[in-house]
Amino acid sequence: MNNKMDRLLYDLCVDWGFCLPPQAQEAIVEKVDWNADEFACKVLEAEGMNPEYEKRWRKLIGQKFKERFA
């Protein structure tokens, strides 16, 4: 899962500008039991955004996660 997760984080950076700091990326890659919504929230929080107010991004990031890991 680590390689797929690294690739997903890379794609989020390149495609949508969600380029997380290295320590946030490491924390995400190390966890193995993500669901799509938790993952999306963590990405948004790492970007300094409030997931409760970023419903569109939360949905899009969650969908991208599901495409890779469903």
- Asked whether the predicted pLDDT for residue 1 surpasses 70, the reply is no
pLDDT per residue as tens digits for the range 14-54: 999 999 999 999 999 999 899 999 999 999 999 999 999 99
Q: Which residue, chain included where needed, has tokens 């949508």?
A: 16
In this structure, are residues 39 and 28 in contact, taking their beta carbons and an 8 Å threshold?
A: yes
Contact between 40 and 49 under an 8 Å Cβ cutoff? The reply is: no
3-class SS letters over 30-49: HCCCCCHHHHHHHHHHHCCC
